[in-house]
Amino acid sequence: MRVLIRLIIIGFLITAAFSNEEVVQFHVQHQIQGDSVYIETSASDVTFQTSKEEKTQAAIDIYINGEWVDRAEQAAFKVDELSAGYHEISLQLMNDDEKALSSVETFTVKIE
């Protein structure tokens, strides 16, 4: 399966203090357009951009149908060129040390 991930830069940072013992609240919204899925996320206590303050730097691991496909370093991004049919998309917030910061958020899309 060939999947392209395009990052969409959005005008906000998600920031707050983070304790290594906490699980970050991670929320996902998506919209299907043709063979693409637009995904927007929000998370408490992290930043997706380099910060001089002591905040946890985060990225999002993207899995499609159980296979890792890419890592997004923005809160909003697009998954392109999905084949027709049902696809399970799973996202997990990760830190620089490859530690999971959130539970896995999973949803299913149907591409016509």
Give the per-residue SS3 of 2-58. Answer: CCEEEEECCCCCCCCCCCCCCCCCEEEEEEEECCEEEEEEEECCEECCCCCCCCEEE
Q: CATH no. for residue 98? A: 2.60.40.10
- Number of domains present in the structure of the chain: 1
**Structural domain boundaries, residue 66:** 4-111
- Which tens digit of pLDDT belongs to each residue from 6-42? 444 333 333 333 344 467 788 999 999 999 999 999 8
Chain segment 53-83, per-residue pLDDT in tens:
666 789 999 999 999 999 999 999 999 999 9
